[in-house]
Amino acid sequence: MQSDCNEKELLGNLKQGCSVAFNAIYQLYSKPIYIYLLHKLKDPDMCSDVLQDIFVALWEKREATIIDTSLKGYLFQSARFKIVDIYRKDKKFQSYLAGLGSYMDADYSMLGDVLDHRKQLADTMDEINKMPLRMKEIFIASRIEQENIQHIANRLSISKQTVKNQLGKAMRILRMNYSGVEMIIMFIGLLLIKK
């Protein structure tokens, strides 16, 4: 309870432009976020850049930013979104998409309705990005980062059932736009993006 009050006070001071509050937030969360980024990206220089981007954005958008979760959750969510953006722009990812398209065209030529797999994966990422923030965060953690439901629930301070409900809603959204074969291809693609 004390940390919640402290977070609210820090956020209030941050919104008013208090650099001391910003420095306190940075001291409190920069190391755990950096470790998380390093675990996912495996590149210390890139992690430093992403960490800087996260905190620069926090400072620059401090007046307009509405944080409806915990500050820690918000910052880790920002880190996850940055990681997804990096994967989408990464040349390895782009070459993977090109290879996947060639492979799928060669081996699944009988699936005439699955013509452009690269575009489909990009469209899927766009569809994921349209989801409500909490749903998107849970979906990315579960399906892309392959965190288990209990871990997600603990990290976000929500029940396991809430995580399951949000995942179910996210899957229904995706099922409305994709057939069963397309869903399998999409999940294989999302899992390979992670590697």
pLDDT > 70: what percent of the chain? 71
- Those residues of the chain that have pLDDT short of 70 are 1-5, 91-122, 177-195
pLDDT score of 57? 92
Domains, the chain: 1-79 (1.10.1740.10), 90-195 (no CATH)
User: For residues 34 and 21, what is the distance between their CA atoms, to the nearest angstrom?
Assistant: 19
C-alpha to C-alpha distances, 118 to 95, 122, 125, 153, 188, nearest whole angstrom: 10, 6, 11, 32, 12
pLDDT score of 28? 93
Q: Alpha helices, DSSP H only, in the chain?
A: 2-15, 19-41, 44-60, 71-89, 91-107, 117-130, 133-139, 149-156, 160-177, 180-194
pLDDT in tens, 129-173: 788 888 888 888 887 777 889 999 998 899 999 999 998 888 888
pTM of this prediction? 0.50
CB distance 50 to 82 below 8 Å:
yes
